[in-house]
C-alpha cells in the first residue's frame, strides 16, 4: 500500500481513476523499444485470425505446416534484406541470388551428382561469393548500395536465364533423389517442416548476434551513423563487406531449400522477391534510415506479406489486386514509419506526464504575525557567505571532523572548503552525475547520492567507489526500475545500513519538477547494506521522497515526501519495525533535506512554499493534464520552488521555529542545512553560495560525526 | 520428345467423350492399364437403364461439383478464352469453375495450387509455368484424390490428363512450312529469323528444337537471328527491326506465339517489307490473331484452338467425375488438332472473340 | 539539340571545376564514338544510314523515358513507377480508341491519367515525406493493379485498325526519319528549354542540389516536387503512346520487365547523378546513344539477349564507379534513396 493515499481523502473511484491511469500505461509502453514493432505484430496476428475465419481449412495443423514450409524460403530472403537495410544500405540482388542458388543447387545435385553436403557448401559459397562482390563494391569502393545491387540483380538475372537455357532440359529429365536431399526439401524436424525449423534456428542465432554481440552492435552503429561509427573506431568497410556476404549467403540458403523442395529451375524463380522482401522488412518496422531493426521484426514483416498474398490468392482475388494490396500496405507502412519516427518523441512527451490527485488541507499560516512556528522572519538574511560564486548549486552540505565543509555541485564534483573561514576551495572528488545528499559513515567515508548514477562513496583520501546503482526490479512495472535514476538523500543507521531515497523513477535530474506536476507516487526508500552489499527497496510508491534522516536513537528513519508536504517515520527497530507513520503533515511548503539538530530535534529545509492556486490544481489532475497538452511548458503552473525556509522540529514532530529570507536575496530555495559546532550551514540546489548562521542557543561542540559515530581522538 | 506422355492409358477419346454426351455407352468398358482400375464398375448402368436414369445419374455425378483452375495469368487472350469457355461449359453441366489468378507470379501460383489442395475441389486444372514447379503439388493433389488436368504444358509429374498442343509437332510444321517457302528452289535468300518466347520455357524450347531440326536439313536455309523476346511484342519488334536492317532480303520470320509475333509483324510493316518478308506464328484462336491474318500482318498462322482445348478439359473432368476413377488410374493426353490459317483461307469459327462469348444455352 | 549552352553550366555550380575535368557525358560520347567506329570496322552493315536510323529508332522510346526520369532525378527523386504509369495510361488511351474515341481525345485522357498519377506520387513524396524510392515502388504496384482491375479489360490492349493517323507516331516517317526519333527530339528540346531557360527549370536544379537551401530561398519545394513528377509521368505517357503505336498494342506485362532498370541505366550513364542537381537532357541522350550502339551492335552480332543484359550490367557498373570518382559524395551521411 502506498503511503501516498493515507493522507488523501476523496471519492474512491476518482482516486482509483487517477492512480491507475491507462494513459500512464500507454506512455510507458510507447517508450519501450520492443513496442516499436507492436503495430506490425498486431497486424500479423489480425491477418492470421481473419484468414482463419474466412477461408476453409485454414486453421488446421496440416495447413499451418504447409504454409510454414512455403514461407520459410521467403523468411531467409527477408532476413538477408533486413541485415543490409539495418546497415544503412539495401540489397536488391537477394531475389537473383536466390534464383541462382536454386539453379546451382539443382545442377550440382541432379547433373553433377555431388553428395548433398558438398551441394550445400557449394551453393552457400556461391551466395557468399556474390555477397562478397556486392560488399567489396559497397564497403571498399564506396558505391551506392541501391545502384550497385541493382546492377548485380540485372547481371545475375541474365546469368540465371543463360544457364537456365543450358540446363533446363537435362534438369527436367533428371530425377536423382537422396534421403538427405528429401529431408532438406520435404522432411520434418520435430513436427516442423525442416526448412522452417532451420529458419527458426538461423533467426534466433541472428537475433542474438545482431542485438547482443559486438559485430551486431557494429552493424547497427554503422546503420545509425556511418561517420560516428568510423570515429568510434569501427572498421566500417569490413563490417559492411561481411554484411553483404552474410546477406548473399542467407539468400542462397533460401534458394537451396527452394531447390530441394520443388526441384524447379523455372526462369522466373525469385523474380520480384527483392520487392517482397523489402516490403516485408519495412512492414516489420526495420527503419529504412538504417540502424533500427531486428531479425524478429523482419520475420514479422515477412509473415505479413506472405499471409496477405497467400490469403488473397486463396480468396480468389485477381492477382493484380493482391499486388495492389501489397503496394498499399507498403505505402501505408512506410508512411507511418516516416511519420512515427519523426513524431514519436513528441507523442510520448505529450502523454508522458500523468497528473494524479493530491488533496492537501489548507496550508498553515506563514505570515509574520500568524502566530505559528512557521511565521516569516528575516533570520536567514544575517547569514555569512562561504564560497560565494565559487560553487554552483550545493544541494547538500556536510562537515567532517576537521571542520571542513563539503558540497556537491552541478559539475558533478564534490568540493571541499577548508581554512578558518573556508576560504580554501578544492575539488575533493569528481564523481560525475549530480551529487546530492551526503553522509559520513563510521570510517569517515563520504557517502553521496548521485542523481543519474546511484549511491557512491569517497574515502577520506578522495578515492571514489560505487556502493550500489541498482535495486530489485518491480515485477509489475513496465519501465525497468532496477537502475537508480535519481538517488536524492541518504543517512546511515547505527548498523551501517545506508538508507536513501530515490525521488522518482519516471524523471531525470533535468526534469524532476515535472514529477511535481504529476504528483504520483513514483519514488522509493531504499536500504543498502555495505556488509552484504545487498540493496533492498523498502518502500515503493512514495511521493517524491526527499530528505532522509536516521532518528537520534537510531531506531527509525525519517523521510520527507515533497509533494505531499509530509514527513514520515519508518521504524527499523523495535516493536513497530517495518511500519510507517506520519511524523509531521500539512507543512506550509515542500520539504527537502532533513538533518539532526544538537538539541535532539531535526532541521528541515523547505525548498518552496505552497500556494492555494497550486494546491487547487493538485486536487484537479484533469486541469493539469489539459495544461500540459495545450500550453507551452513555460506557461505551466509549477509547484512554487522559489522561496524556502528552515524549520526545526522536535522528536515528536512538532514544529518549533523557522528561519526565513523573505526577499530571497541570499537563500531563495533552501534544500539543505547542517548544524555544526554552533553554526547552521545552508545549501541550495540553485544557489551560488553556501551560507551559515550562528545558532546562539546551540551546543557549540555538537557536530554530526560525533553524534552519529561518537568522538574520535 | 522428352515430354511425351509416358504412361498414357490406352483409351480412345471416343470412350471419353461418350461419357459426357447423352449416349448409352459411357463407361462401357473398364479402362485397362492399372490393376486397381479393373475393379471399377458402373453398377447403375447395368441392366436396361433408361435415358432418364442416365440423365439422373449424370446430374448426380456433376451437379454442384467444383473445378478449380489456376492459369498463369488472366487477361491474355489464351487464358481468357480457356477461362470463358471452361466456365460456360462447366456451368452448363451444373458445375462451378473456381479461378485463381496468380498474375504471372509463380510464387503466388504455387501457393494457389497448394491452397486449393487444402480446399479439396473435385477437379484441379492447371496451366504449368514450367515443367517442374508444380510437380510435387500435383502429386500431392492426386494423393488427396483430386484428378489433375494440365493445360498447354505438361509437368514432369504426369497426372490424369494433359490437354494441349503437341509442341514438337507445332515446331515441325512451322519448320516444314518455312522450308517450303524459303528453302531450296524457292528462289528466296533462304534467310530466316526466329523469335523465341522465353528461352527456358518448355513450350518455346520444344518448338525451337523441332523447327531447328527441320530447318537444319535444308542447307539453303540460313538462320540469321535466333533470339528470345520473352513473349513481349515490343521486344520482338526491336529485334526484328534490327534484323531487317541487316538483312532486308529476309525470307521469313517465325515467332512462337501470335501475340508476341505481332511486334515482329509491325516491324516488317514499318520497314515497308510487308508481303516480301513472310511472317509465321503459332498461337491460339484469339481475335487479334485473326485480325492480323486479315490485315496481312501475319502470313500464315498455326492454330491450336484454345476454345476446343477448354472443351476437352471439361469433357475429361466430366468423365472423371462420372466414372469416379481414382486420379492415378488414368494417364491420358489430348493433343490439340492443329489448323493452318491464312488470309482468306480459314474458317471464321476458328476465331474466338472474348467480348462475344459463345455461351451454350442453359 | 543545337542549343550549345553546355548542360552542366545550367546547374549553376562548380562550373570552374567542371571545365578542368572532362564531364561524364563527354566521356560517354567519346566511348560511344569509339564503339561505333569499332563496330563500323568490324560489323558489316553497321555503318549504313538505314542501320543508324534503326538504331536511333530502337532506343527512341528508351530515350524519351530517360528524359522523363531525368526530370525527377535532377530534382533528387526517382520514379520507379514510371513504366507502370506509362503502360496504364497509354493502354487506357488505346482502350478509349477501341471504344470509338478519336485519338486526340483518347491521348489527352491517357495523359490526364498519367498526370494525375504523377501528382499523387509527388504529393506523397512532398507532403507525406515518404522517400521517393519507396513511394514509387509502392505506387508502381498500385497503378498496375488498380489500372489492370478497374481501368483496363485485359493485359494486352490493341490499337484499333481505324486509328491509322495515331499509328503514325510509332510507325511513320518524316523525310526518312522515323517518327519516334522525331518525338524524342521534340521532347528533348522541350525539356532542355524547360530546364535551362525557364525559372521553374532552374528551381528543379536548386531543389536537387540542396533541398533545404532551396526552401530557405523561398522556392515552394513541395508543389515543385509534384510538378516534377507530373512532368515525368506525362512524358512517360507519351513514350507509352509511341510504343503502343509502333507495335499496335501495349502489353501490361512490360511493368514486370527490366525496362525500368534500363531507364535508370541511361539516366545514370550519361551523368545525371542520383544525388540530384547534376546533368541534363544532353546527358540522357549521351547515355541513350551508348546503350543504343551497344544493343544494336550486339543484335547484329546475334548475341543472346541475356549476354546483352550482362554487358549492359557491366557498363552500368563502370558508370557507377566512374560517377563515384567524378562526384565523390559524402557517403558517410548518405541515406536510402539518395
What CATH code is carried by the domain that includes residue A592? 2.120.10.30
Q: Largest alpha-carbon pair distance within chain A? A: 110
Task: Show Cβ contacts of residue C118 under 8 Å, excluding neighbours closer than 6 positions.
Answer: C85, C226, C229, C230, C231, C232, C233, C234
Contacting C residues, span 78-137, partner chain B, CB-CB under 8 Å: none
What is the Cβ-side half-sphere exposure of residue A629, based on CA atoms within 13 angstroms? 10
Q: Is C157 on the interface with B (CB under 8 A)?
A: no
Instruction: Specify whether the backbone of A502 is left (phi greater than 0), alpha (psi in -120 to 50) or beta.
Output: beta
Could you tell me if A181 and A322 lie in one domain? yes
**Residue A512 scores a pLDDT above 90:** no
Give the C-alpha separation, C22 to A414, whole Å.
64
Q: Among A393-397, A521-525, C13-17, whose mean pLDDT is lowest?
A: C13-17
Confidence tier at B21 by pLDDT (50, 70, 90): very low
Interface with C, mutate which of B105, B228, B238, B279 (most C CBs under 10 A): B238
Task: Look at residue B189 and tell me if it is in a domain.
Answer: yes
End-to-end CA distance of chain C: 30
Give the C-alpha separation, A708 to A700, whole Å.
16
Structural domain for B96, as ranges: 13-165+305-350
Mapped onto helix, strand or coil, the DSSP state of residue A355 is coil
Task: Look at residue A334 and tell me if it is in a domain.
Answer: yes
Report the pLDDT value the prediction gives residue A676, as an integer from 0 to 100: 93
Could you tell me if B144 and B124 lie in one domain? yes
Chain A closest CA to C84's CA: distance in Å?
12
Under 8 Å between Cβ of B129 and B106: yes
Confidence tier at B199 by pLDDT (50, 70, 90): low
Could you tell me if A51 and A131 lie in one domain? yes
Under 8 Å between Cβ of C235 and C191: yes
Instruction: State whether A266 and B129 contact (CB < 8 Å).
Output: yes
Report the pLDDT value the prediction gives residue B9, as an integer from 0 to 100: 39
Cα nearest neighbour of B198 on chain A: A267
**Residue A690 scores a pLDDT above 90:** yes
Question: Among candidates A462, A397, A398, which has minimal Cα distance to A430?
Answer: A462
Mapped onto helix, strand or coil, the DSSP state of residue A648 is strand
Chain A closest CA to C119's CA: distance in Å?
16
Could you tell me if B179 and B123 lie in one domain? no
The last residue of one of the domains, among A332, A349, A366, is: A349
Could you tell me if B38 and B127 lie in one domain? yes
Contacting B residues, span 39-78, partner chain A, CB-CB under 8 Å: 73-75
Which ipTM score applies to this complex? 0.79
Confidence tier at B30 by pLDDT (50, 70, 90): very low
**What share of chain A has pLDDT > 70, as a percent?**
97
Q: Among A118-132, A254-268, B8-22, B128-142, whose mean pLDDT is lowest?
A: B8-22
C-alpha cell of residue A440? 559520513
Give the C-alpha separation, A607 to A591, whole Å.
6
3-state secondary structure string across chain B: CCCCCCCCCCCCHHHHHHCCCCCCCCCCCCCCCCHHHHCCCCHHHCCCCCHHHHHHHHHHHHCCCEEEEECCCCCCHHHHHHHHHHHHHHHHCCCEEEECCCCCCHHHHHHHHHHHHHHCCCEEEECCCCCCCCHHHHHHHHHCCCCEEEECCCCCCCCCEEEECCHHHHHHHHHHHHHHHHCCCCCCCCEEEEEECCCCCHHHHHHHHHHHHHHHCCCCCEEEEEEECCCCHHHHHHHHHHHHHHCCCCCEEEECCHHHHHHHHHHHHHCCCECCEEEEEEECCEHHHHHHHHCCCCCEEEECCHHHHHHHHHHHHHHHHHHCCCHHHCCEEEECCCEEEECCECCHHHCECCCCCCCCCC
Task: Look at residue C331 and tell me if it is in a domain.
Answer: no
Q: Which CATH number does the domain housing residue C316 bear?
A: 1.10.3470
DSSP C14: S
Task: Look at residue B254 and tell me if it is in a domain.
Answer: yes
Say if residue A244 is exposed, middle or buried (CB neighbours under 10 Å; 0-12, 13-18, 19+). Answer: buried
Question: Among candidates C239, C227, C195, C201, which has minimal Cα distance to C63?
Answer: C239
Task: Look at residue C23 and tell me if it is in a domain.
Answer: yes
Could you tell me if A452 and A337 lie in one domain? no
Q: Is C309 on the interface with A (CB under 8 A)?
A: yes
Could you tell me if B314 and B327 lie in one domain? yes
Task: Look at residue A125 and tell me if it is in a domain.
Answer: yes
Highest mean pLDDT among A299-303, B35-39, B56-60, B258-262: A299-303
Q: Is the pTM of this model over 0.80?
A: no
Could you tell me if B143 and B192 lie in one domain? no
Report the pLDDT value the prediction gives residue C22, as an integer from 0 to 100: 66
Question: What is the mean predicted confidence (pLDDT) over A581-590?
Answer: 93
Q: Which residues of chain C have pLDDT under 50?
A: 1-20, 332-333, 335-338
Give the torsion through C-alpha atoms of B283, B284, B286, B291, to 10 deg: 40
Say if residue A103 is exposed, middle or buried (CB neighbours under 10 Å; 0-12, 13-18, 19+). Answer: buried
Give the C-alpha separation, A309 to A290, whole Å.
27
Cα nearest neighbour of B226 on chain C: C302
Indicate the residue of B233, B266, B354 with minimum beta-carbon distance to C251. Answer: B233
Could you tell me if A334 and A383 lie in one domain? no
Give the C-alpha separation, A451 to A396, whole Å.
12
Under 8 Å between Cβ of A499 and A557: yes
Report the pLDDT value the prediction gives residue A348, as an integer from 0 to 100: 75
Under 8 Å between Cβ of C280 and C196: yes
Q: Which CATH number does the domain housing residue A261 bear?
A: 1.10.3470
Question: What is the mean predicted confidence (pLDDT) over A415-423?
Answer: 91
Instruction: State whether C138 and A152 contact (CB < 8 Å).
Output: no
End-to-end CA distance of chain A: 46
Report the pLDDT value the prediction gives residue A384, as an integer from 0 to 100: 92
Report the pLDDT value the prediction gives residue A461, as an integer from 0 to 100: 93
Task: Look at residue A693 and tell me if it is in a domain.
Answer: yes
Task: Look at residue C2 and tell me if it is in a domain.
Answer: no
Could you tell me if A582 and A470 lie in one domain? yes
Task: Look at residue B315 and tell me if it is in a domain.
Answer: yes
Report the pLDDT value the prediction gives residue B39, as an integer from 0 to 100: 52
Could you tell me if B18 and B129 lie in one domain? yes
**Residue A568 scores a pLDDT above 90:** yes
Could you tell me if A296 and A169 lie in one domain? yes
Could you tell me if A339 and A458 lie in one domain? no
Question: Among candidates C222, C225, C221, which has minimal Cα distance to C77?
Answer: C225
- Domain count along chain C: 1
Structural domain for C206, as ranges: 7-326
Give the C-alpha separation, B86 to B306, whole Å.
10
Chain B closest CA to C212's CA: distance in Å?
42
Question: Among candidates B123, B145, B126, B144, which has minimal Cα distance to B135?
Answer: B126
Give the C-alpha separation, A552 to A505, whole Å.
29
Confidence tier at A27 by pLDDT (50, 70, 90): confident
Task: Look at residue A247 and tell me if it is in a domain.
Answer: yes
Task: Look at residue C187 and tell me if it is in a domain.
Answer: yes
Task: Look at residue A20 and tell me if it is in a domain.
Answer: no
**What share of chain A has pLDDT > 90, as a percent?**
50
**Residue B197 scores a pLDDT above 80:** yes
Task: Look at residue B190 and tell me if it is in a domain.
Answer: yes
Q: How many CB atoms lie within 10 A of CB C222?
A: 15
Task: Look at residue A364 and tell me if it is in a domain.
Answer: no
Could you tell me if A537 and A582 lie in one domain? yes
Question: What is the mean predicted confidence (pLDDT) over B143-170?
Answer: 91
Chain B closest CA to C220's CA: distance in Å?
40
Task: Look at residue C211 and tell me if it is in a domain.
Answer: yes
Could you tell me if B94 and B187 lie in one domain? no
Give the C-alpha separation, C64 to C70, whole Å.
10
**Residue A680 scores a pLDDT above 70:** yes
C-alpha cell of residue A46? 489480425
User: Which of chain C's residues have a Cβ under 8 Å away from the Cβ of B288?
Assistant: 156, 158, 249
Report the pLDDT value the prediction gives residue A322, as an integer from 0 to 100: 76
Say if residue A298 is exposed, middle or buried (CB neighbours under 10 Å; 0-12, 13-18, 19+). Answer: buried
Task: Look at residue A228 and tell me if it is in a domain.
Answer: yes
Could you tell me if B47 and B87 lie in one domain? yes
Could you tell me if A317 and A391 lie in one domain? no
Could you tell me if B160 and B175 lie in one domain? no
Tell me the average pLDDT of chain A.
88
pLDDT in tens, A441-488: 999 999 999 998 999 999 999 999 999 998 887 777 777 788 888 999
- Domain count along chain A: 2
| Radius of gyration of chain A from its Cα atoms, rounded to whole angstroms | 34
Structural domain for A103, as ranges: 38-349
Question: Which residues lie across from C157 on neighbouring strands?
Answer: C250
Task: Look at residue C336 and tell me if it is in a domain.
Answer: no
Q: Which CATH number does the domain housing residue B248 bear?
A: 3.40.50.2300
Could you tell me if B157 and B221 lie in one domain? no
Could you tell me if B59 and B193 lie in one domain? no
Question: What is the mean predicted confidence (pLDDT) over A615-621?
Answer: 91
Under 8 Å between Cβ of A222 and C332: no
**Residue B48 scores a pLDDT above 60:** no
Q: What angle do CA A685, A605, A436 make, to 5 degrees?
A: 40
**Residue A107 scores a pLDDT above 60:** yes
Indicate the residue of B74, B80, B232 with minimum beta-carbon distance to C251. Answer: B232
**Residue A178 scores a pLDDT above 50:** yes
Give the C-alpha separation, A283 to A303, whole Å.
10
Question: What is the mean predicted confidence (pLDDT) over B298-318?
Answer: 92
Helix axes C49-74, C259-269, angle to 10 degrees: 80
Which of the pair, A34 or A301, is modelled with greater confidence? A301
Q: How many CB atoms lie within 10 A of CB A518?
A: 27
In the sheet that A672-676 helps form, which strands lie side by side, from edge to edge?
A: A384-386, A690-694, A679-683, A672-676
pLDDT in tens, C54-66: 788 888 989 999 9
DSSP states of C134-170 as a string? HHHHHHHHHHHHHIIIII-SSSEEE--TT-HHHHHHH
Task: Look at residue B121 and tell me if it is in a domain.
Answer: yes
Please give the interface size between A and C, counted as residue pairs whose CB atoms are below 8 Å apart.
145
- Domain count along chain B: 2
Could you tell me if A529 and A393 lie in one domain? yes
pLDDT in tens, B159-179: 999 999 999 999 999 999 999
Question: Which residues lie across from A567 on neighbouring strands?
Answer: A560, A584
Which of the pair, A99 or A42, is modelled with greater confidence? A99
Residue whose entry in the numeric block shows the C-alpha cell 479393373 = B38
Give the C-alpha separation, B18 to C180, whole Å.
57
- Show which subunits contact A, needing at least 3 CB pairs below 8 angstroms: B, C
Could you tell me if B171 and B58 lie in one domain? no
Give the C-alpha separation, A656 to A342, whole Å.
55
Could you tell me if A344 and A403 lie in one domain? no
Which of the pair, A424 or A39, is modelled with greater confidence? A424
Say if residue C182 is exposed, middle or buried (CB neighbours under 10 Å; 0-12, 13-18, 19+). Answer: middle
Amino acid at each position: 500500500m502506498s503511503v501516498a493515499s493515507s493522507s488523501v481523502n476523496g471519492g474512491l473511484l476518482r482516486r482509483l481513476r487517477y492512480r491507475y491511469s491507462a494513459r500512464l500505461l500507454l506512455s510507458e509502453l510507447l517508450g519501450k523499444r520492443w513496442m516499436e514493432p507492436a503495430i506490425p505484430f498486431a497486424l500479423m496476428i489480425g491477418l492470421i485470425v481473419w484468414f482463419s475465419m474466412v477461408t476453409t481449412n485454414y486453421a488446421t495443423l496440416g495447413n499451418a505446416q504447409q504454409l510454414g514450409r512455403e514461407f520459410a524460403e521467403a523468411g531467409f530472403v527477408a532476413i538477408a534484406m533486413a541485415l543490409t537495410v539495418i546497415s544503412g544500405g539495401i540489397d536488391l540482388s537477394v531475389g537473383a541470388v536466390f534464383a541462382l542458388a536454386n539453379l546451382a543447387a539443382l545442377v550440382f545435385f541432379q547433373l553433377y551428382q555431388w553428395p548433398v553436403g558438398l551441394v550445400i557448401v557449394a551453393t552457400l559459397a556461391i551466395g557468399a561469393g556474390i555477397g562478397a562482390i556486392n560488399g567489396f563494391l559497397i564497403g571498399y569502393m564506396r558505391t551506392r548500395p541501391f545502384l550497385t545491387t541493382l546492377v548485380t540483380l540485372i547481371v545475375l538475372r541474365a546469368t540465371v536465364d543463360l544457364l537456365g537455357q543450358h540446363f533446363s532440359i537435362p534438369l527436367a529429365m533428371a530425377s536423382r533423389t537422396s534421403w538427405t536431399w528429401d529431408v532438406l526439401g520435404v522432411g520434418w524436424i520435430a513436427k516442423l517442416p525442416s526448412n522452417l525449423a532451420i529458419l527458426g534456428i538461423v533467426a534466433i542465432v541472428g537475433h542474438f548476434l545482431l542485438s547482443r554481440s559486438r559485430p551486431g552492435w557494429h552493424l547497427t552503429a554503422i546503420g545509425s551513423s556511418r561517420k560516428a561509427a568510423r570515429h568510434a573506431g569501427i572498421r566500417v568497410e569490413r563490417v559492411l563487406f561481411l554484411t553483404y556476404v552474410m546477406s548473399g549467403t542467407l539468400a542462397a540458403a533460401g534458394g537451396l531449400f527452394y531447390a530441394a523442395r520443388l526441384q524447379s529451375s523455372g526462369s522466373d524463380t525469385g523474380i520480384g522477391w527483392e520487392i517482397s522482401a523489402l516490403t516485408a522488412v519495412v512492414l516489420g518496422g526495420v527503419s529504412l534510415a538504417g540502424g533500427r531493426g531486428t531479425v524478429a521484426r523482419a520475420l514479422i514483416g515477412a509473415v505479413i506479406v506472405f499471409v496477405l498474398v497467400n490469403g488473397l490468392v486463396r480468396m480468389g482475388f485477381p492477382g493484380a489486386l493482391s499486388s495492389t494490396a501489397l503496394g498499399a500496405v507498403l505505402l501505408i507502412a512506410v508512411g507511418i514509419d516516416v511519420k512515427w519516427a519523426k513524431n514519436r518523441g513528441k507523442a510520448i512527451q505529450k502523454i508522458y506526464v500523468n497528473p494524479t490527485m493530491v488533496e492537501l488541507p489548507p496550508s498553515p499560516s506563514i505570515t509574520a504575525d500568524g502566530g505559528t512556528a512557521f511565521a516569516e522572519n528575516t533570520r536567514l538574511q544575517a547569514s555569512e557567505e562561504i564560497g560565494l560564486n565559487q560553487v554552483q548549486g550545493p544541494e547538500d552540505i556536510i562537515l567532517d571532523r576537521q571542520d571542513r565543509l563539503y558540497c556537491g555541485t552541478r559539475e558533478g564534483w564534490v568540493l571541499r572548503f577548508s581554512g578558518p573561514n573556508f576560504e580554501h576551495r578544492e575539488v575533493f572528488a569528481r564523481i560525475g552525475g549530480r551529487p546530492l545528499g551526503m553522509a559520513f559513515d563510521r570510517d569517515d567515508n563520504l557517502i553521496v547520492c548521485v542523481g543519474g548514477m546511484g549511491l557512491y562513496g569517497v574515502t577520506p583520501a578522495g578515492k571514489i567507489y560505487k556502493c550500489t546503482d541498482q535495486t530489485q526490479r518491480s515485477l509489475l512495472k513496465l519501465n525497468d526500475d532496477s537502475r537508480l535514476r535519481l538517488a536524492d538523500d541518504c543517512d546511515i543507521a547505527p548498523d551501517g545500513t545506508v538508507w536513501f531515497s530515490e525521488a522518482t523513477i519516471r524523471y531525470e535530474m533535468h526534469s524532476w519538477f515535472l514529477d511535481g506536476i504529476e504528483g504520483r507516487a513514483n519514488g522509493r526508500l531504499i536500504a543498502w547494506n555495505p556488509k552484504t552489499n545487498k540493496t533492498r527497496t523498502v518502500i515503493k510508491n512514495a511521493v517524491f521522497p526527499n530528505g532522509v534522516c536516521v532518528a537520534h536513537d537510531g531506531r527509525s528513519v525519517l523521510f520527507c515526501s515533497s509533494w505531499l508536504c509530509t514527513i514520515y517515520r519508518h521504524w527499523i527497530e523495535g516493536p513497530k519495525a517495518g511500519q510507517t507513520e506520519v511524523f509531521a503533515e500539512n507543512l506550509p511548503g515542500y520539504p527537502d533535506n532533513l538533518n539532526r539538530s544538537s538539541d535532539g530535534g531535526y532541521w528541515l529545509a523547505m525548498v518552496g512554499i505552497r500556494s492555494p492556486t497550486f494546491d487547487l490544481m493538485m486536487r484537479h489532475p484533469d486541469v493539469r493534464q489539459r495544461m500540459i497538452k495545450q500550453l507551452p511548458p513555460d506557461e505551466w503552473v509549477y509547484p512554487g520552488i522559489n522561496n524556502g525556509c528552515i524549520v526545526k522540529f522536535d522528536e515528536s514532530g512538532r514544529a518549533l521555529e523557522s528561519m526565513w529570507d523573505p526577499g530571497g536575496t541570499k537563500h531563495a530555495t533552501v534544500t539543505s542545512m547542517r548544524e555544526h559546532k554552533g553554526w547552521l550551514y545552508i545549501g541550495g540546489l540553485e544557489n551560488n553560495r553556501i551560507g551559515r548562521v550562528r545558532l546562539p542557543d546551540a551546543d557549540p561542540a555538537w557536530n554530526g560525526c560525533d553524534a552519529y559515530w561518537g568522538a574520535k581522538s | 520428345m522428352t515430354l511425351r506422355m509416358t504412361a498414357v492409358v490406352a483409351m480412345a477419346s471416343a470412350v471419353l467423350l461418350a461419357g459426357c454426351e447423352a449416349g448409352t455407352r459411357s463407361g462401357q468398358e473398364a479402362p485397362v492399364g492399372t490393376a486397381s482400375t479393373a475393379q471399377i464398375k458402373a453398377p447403375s448402368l447395368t441392366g436396361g437403364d433408361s435415358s432418364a436414369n442416365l440423365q439422373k445419374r449424370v446430374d448426380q455425378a456433376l451437379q454442384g461439383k467444383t473445378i478449380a483452375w489456376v492459369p498463369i495469368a488472366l487477361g491474355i487472350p489464351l487464358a481468357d478464352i480457356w477461362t470463358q469457355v471452361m466456365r460456360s461449359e462447366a456451368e452448363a453441366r451444373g458445375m462451378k469453375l473456381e479461378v485463381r489468378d496468380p498474375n504471372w507470379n509463380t510464387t503466388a501460383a504455387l501457393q494457389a495450387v497448394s491452397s486449393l489442395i487444402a480446399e479439396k475441389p473435385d477437379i484441379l486444372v492447371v496451366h504449368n509455368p514450367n515443367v517442374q514447379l508444380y510437380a510435387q503439388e500435383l502429386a500431392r493433389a492426386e494423393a488427396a484424390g483430386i484428378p489433375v488436368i494440365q493445360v498447354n504444358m505438361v509437368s514432369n509429374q504426369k497426372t490424369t490428363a494433359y490437354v494441349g498442343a503437341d509442341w514438337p509437332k507445332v515446331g515441325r510444321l512451322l519448320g516444314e512450312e518455312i522450308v517450303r517457302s524459303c528453302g531450296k528452289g524457292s528462289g528466296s535468300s533462304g534467310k530466316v529469323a526466329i523469335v523465341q518466347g522465353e528461352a527456358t520455357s518448355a513450350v518455346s524450347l520444344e518448338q525451337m528444337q523441332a523447327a531447328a531440326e527441320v530447318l537444319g536439313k535444308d542447307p539453303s536455309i540460313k538462320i540469321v537471328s535466333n533470339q528470345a523476346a520473352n513473349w513481349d511484342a515490343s521486344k520482338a519488334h526491336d529485334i526484328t527491326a534490327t534484323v531487317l536492317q541487316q538483312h532486308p532480303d529476309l525470307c521469313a520470320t517465325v515467332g512462337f506465339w501470335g501475340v508476341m509475333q505481332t511486334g515482329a509483324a509491325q516491324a516488317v510493316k514499318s520497314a515497308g517489307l510487308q508481303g516480301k518478308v513472310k511472317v509465321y506464328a503459332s498461337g491460339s484462336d484469339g481475335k487479334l490473331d485473326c485480325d492480323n491474318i486479315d490485315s496481312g500482318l501475319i502470313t500464315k498462322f498455326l492454330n491450336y484452338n484454345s476454345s476446343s482445348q477448354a472443351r476437352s478439359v471439361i469433357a475429361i473432368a466430366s468423365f472423371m467425375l462420372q466414372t469416379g476413377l481414382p486420379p492415378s488410374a488414368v494417364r491420358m493426353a489430348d493433343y490439340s488438332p492443329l489448323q493452318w490459317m491464312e488470309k482468306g483461307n480459314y474458317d471464321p469459327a476458328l476465331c474466338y472473340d472474348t467480348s462475344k462469348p459463345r455461351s451454350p444455352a442453359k | 539539340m543545337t542549343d550549345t549552352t553546355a548542360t552542366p553550366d545550367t546547374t549553376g555550380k562548380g562550373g570552374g571545376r567542371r571545365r578542368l575535368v572532362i564531364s561524364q557525358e563527354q566521356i560517354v560520347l567519346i566511348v560511344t564514338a569509339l564503339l561505333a567506329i569499332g563496330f563500323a570496322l568490324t560489323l558489316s552493315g553497321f555503318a549504313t544510314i538505314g542501320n543508324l536510323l534503326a538504331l536511333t529508332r530502337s532506343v527512341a522510346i528508351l530515350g524519351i523515358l530517360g528524359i522523363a526520369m531525368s526530370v525527377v532525378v535532377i530534382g533528387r527523386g526517382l520514379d520507379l513507377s514510371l513504366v507502370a504509369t506509362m503502360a496504364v495510361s497509354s493502354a487506357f488511351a488505346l482502350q478509349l480508341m477501341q471504344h470509338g474515341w478519336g485519338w486526340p481525345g483518347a491521348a489527352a485522357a491517357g495523359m490526364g491519367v498519367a498526370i494525375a498519377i504523377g501528382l499523387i506520387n509527388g504529393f506523397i513524396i512532398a507532403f507525406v515525406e515518404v522517400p521517393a524510392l519507396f513511394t514509387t515502388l509502392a505506387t508502381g504496384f498500385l497503378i498496375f493493379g488498380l489500372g489492370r482491375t478497374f481501368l483496363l479489360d485485359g493485359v494486352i490492349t490493341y490499337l484499333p485498325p481505324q486509328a491509322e493517323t495515331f499509328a503514325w507516331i510509332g510507325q511513320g516517317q518524316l523525310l526518312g526519319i522515323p517518327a519516334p526519333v522525331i518525338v524524342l527530339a521534340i521532347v528533348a528540346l522541350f525539356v532542355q528549354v524547360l530546364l535551362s531557360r525557364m525559372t521553374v527549370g532552374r528551381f528543379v536544379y536548386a531543389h536537387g542540389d540542396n533541398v533545404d537551401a532551396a526552401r530557405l530561398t523561398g522556392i515552394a519545394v513541395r508543389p515543385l516536387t509534384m510538378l516534377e513528377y507530373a512532368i515525368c509521368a506525362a512524358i512517360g505517357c507519351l513514350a507509352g503512346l509511341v510504343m503502343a503505336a509502333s507495335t499496335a498494342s501495349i502489353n501490361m506485362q512490360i511493368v514486370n520487365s527490366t525496362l525500368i532498370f534500363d531507364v535508370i541505366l541511361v539516366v545514370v550513364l550519361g551523368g545525371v547523378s542520383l544525388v540530384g542537381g547534376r546533368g541534363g537532357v544532353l546527358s540522357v541522350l549521351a547515355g541513350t546513344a551508348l546503350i543504343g550502339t551497344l544493343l544494336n551492335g550486339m543484335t547484329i552480332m546475334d548475341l543472346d539477349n541475356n549476354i546483352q543484359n550482362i554487358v549492359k550490367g557491366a557498363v552500368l557498373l563502370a558508370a557507377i564507379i566512374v560517377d563515384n570518382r567524378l562526384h565523390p559524395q559524402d557517403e558517410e551521411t548518405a541515406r536510402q534513396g539518395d
